Chains A and B, each alone.
Chain A
Amino acid sequence: MSRLGLVIDIDACVGCHACATACKEWNGQSLMAGGAPDYQPQGAEPSGVWFNRVRHFEAGSYPESKTLNVPMSCMHCEDADCVNVCPTGASYKRAEDGIVLIDPDKCMGCNYCAWACPYGARELDTDQGVMRKCTLCVDRIYDTALPEAERQPACVLACPAHARFFGDFDDPDSKVSALVRERDGQPLMPQLGYRPTNQYLPPRVAPEVPAPAQVQPRGTLQTRLAAMVNRLIQL
């Protein structure tokens, strides 16, 4: 039994959207996720299904402000209301690793699960008429044909800032558990009581930068004369 999920370091995330595009690249083809379609990709109003979206925020006001880049995908909640409200049984949470998935063969596309999700993690595939969401790349992480280092979600592998970590939160010695312990990892919107698995490492307060000196020393008569001669020569 394990509890798989992601840790996202808000301090390290540069907001480049590489995780989101890597997710789209992998899951757009994936049989497990069933695809993440684009609508009018070259048209006037391009849109489409994304399992992972990066939003950009600012905390505080200048100059004491901090930019927060916040990638959000399914949090694989322990008390996932999206699973509870699903009338068809298409949405389910796996007992063995806690991954929340959708069975597209059972989904009737009623949107009710998307209504129950506070994170906007579920989006309707209007081509197929079924709901889509992050699978935690369940078709990568157990694939023994892949080298062990690549048995991770596509978003984690793609992140150039090492802001994303994948692991088992039930294992106290895992990287994700240690990071949450050391950096005071927080879930998003915990007050709803869904107990999201994914955790976010809050930004650290930047050390204070000393103010630049106000007055430059004038220098001796000799150095000022030398500087004046140099300027004259350059004329």
Chain B
Amino acid sequence: MKPALSVIFFTVASGAGLGLTVWVLAAQLSGRVGAADPVFLPAVALAGVLLTAGLLSSTAHLANPRNAWRAFSRFRTSWLSREGVFAVAIYPLAALHLWASVQGLALARLSALALIALALVTVASTAMIYACLKTVPRWRTWHTPVAYLLYALAAGGLLWVALTRSAGPADPGAGWAIGLLAAVALVKLAYYAKFSARVHATLNQALSVPERAAPGKVQGRVRLLDAGHTGGTFLTNEFGFAVARSRAQALRTAMFVLSLLLPAALLLLGQGPLAAWLAALAALAGMLLERWLFFAQAEHVVRLYHGQQAV
């Protein structure tokens, strides 16, 4: 699949913003942070900016954004529609929660729990946009929503650690954030092991031609003679993207270094806010790489009709 930068930025920014939302609210619920704390409003503002920037970026890949408002209308069948509804529902709920927190109402507890649930459901819906597609076997797996959720929480956690260190008091969240980074690395390793050599569909299956042992039928390995067009098409442009194996391997290594080793080392070695901000930035860069690979290495079954033997 073509890695569209607007969509990659959207999943990373909105994921990190929603992850940060979960961390702020969890700290508030546990009583470690109150609405009057100097870290509270900057954290909420950063989460809101990340989520909003991500959502705006996602409309940049639309060919006809005038109709984007209609995307909320198919909640019952479309994960894209659900994602939009959940993401937009966060704003009024967050406003209510901020008001209740500043007023010191008991309602703030309830709204915090609802916001946490809504943030997690929104990230999961983003992942399900991809994980529900039968046409892309490398997306249609439990790894997709789990990796999206863990990455969002890890990136949000690193941002939260950086924010609290900048505000003064030491934060107990660093260990959790490193644990989440390790968990997401394990999920990605399991994902790559599963998909490195697996065949999900072949050209023979795509054309319903038996490969062998079919008496009375035309059979045998099918290969493409001619795709029927001399230039590029929408299909080759959208689904034909390929990344060289050596390059993918190098990017994968960089991804693990940026989104696990570097942030963990920075958080463990440096106690100041600078180390924490660098750790968060490294993790976000690693997350961008992970999403780029997530798209670039996904193989759509229509590639079979363009000559690929198996996906």
Contacts and interface: CB of A to CB of B under 8 A. Distances in A.
Nearest to A55: B228
Interface string B126-151: 00010011111000000000000000
Contact of B227 (A20, A55, A129): A55
B208 A86 contact: no
Interface in A161-219: 186-194, 200, 202-205
B134 A55 contact: no
Contact of B206 (A46, A90, A107, A189): A189
B208 A190 contact: yes
Contact of A123 (B223, B224, B230, B233): B233
Given A59-B221, A59-B222, A192-B135, A49 B234 contact: yes
Contacts of B217: 202, 205
Interface string B64-107: 11111011111001111100100000000000000000000000
Interface stretch (A27-35, A60-68, A144-152): A60-68
Given A187-B208, A190-B208, A108 B67 contact: yes
Contact of A189 (B65, B68, B71, B205): B205
A90 B205 contact: no
Contact of B70 (A55, A72, A89, A191): A89
A45 B302 CA distance: 22
Contacts of B222: 57-59, 68
A53 B62 CA distance: 25
A109 B80 CA distance: 13
A46 B229 CA distance: 10
A6 B226 CA distance: 23
A116 B135 contact: yes
Interface string A102-138: 0001111111101111111001101011100000000
Contacts of A57: 203, 207, 222-225
A66 B204 CA distance: 13
B228 to A, nearest CB: 5
B305 interface: yes
Contact of B301 (A70, A85, A118): A118
Contact of A84 (B65, B78, B84): B78
A56 B225 contact: yes
Contact of A68 (B129, B209, B231): B209
A105 to B, nearest CB: 8
A106 B226 contact: no
B62 A47 contact: no
Interface in B214-252: 216-235, 238-239
A45 B237 CA distance: 13
Contact of A126 (B63, B67, B77): B63
A108 B70 contact: yes
A54 interface: yes
B268 to A, nearest CB: 41
Interface string A74-94: 000000010111111110000
A130 B218 contact: no
B302 A118 contact: yes
Contact of A117 (B73, B135, B203): B135
A17 B70 CA distance: 37
Contacts of B301: 118, 189, 192
B201 interface: yes
B134 A192 contact: yes
B198 interface: no
B63 A109 contact: yes
B73 A87 contact: yes
A205 B209 CA distance: 12
B300 interface: yes
A36 B263 CA distance: 50
B224 A120 contact: no
A70 to B, nearest CB: 6
Nearest to A65: B220
A60 to B, nearest CB: 3
Contact of A55 (B1, B219, B226): B226
B207 A68 contact: yes
B71 A124 contact: no
Nearest to A82: B135
A112 B129 contact: yes
Query: 9 nearest interchain CB pairs?
Result: A109-B63, A60-B220, A129-B64, A129-B63, A88-B70, A108-B67, A87-B81, A109-B64, A87-B80
23 contacts: A46-B230, A49-B234, A58-B222, A58-B225, A59-B220, A59-B222, A60-B220, A72-B305, A84-B77, A85-B77, A87-B81, A88-B70, A107-B67, A108-B66, A111-B238, A115-B238, A117-B302, A120-B305, A129-B62, A187-B208, A189-B201, A189-B205, A192-B301
Interface of A: 17, 20, 45-47, 49-50, 53-61, 64-68, 70, 72, 81, 83-90, 105-112, 114-120, 123-124, 126, 128-130, 186-194, 200, 202-205
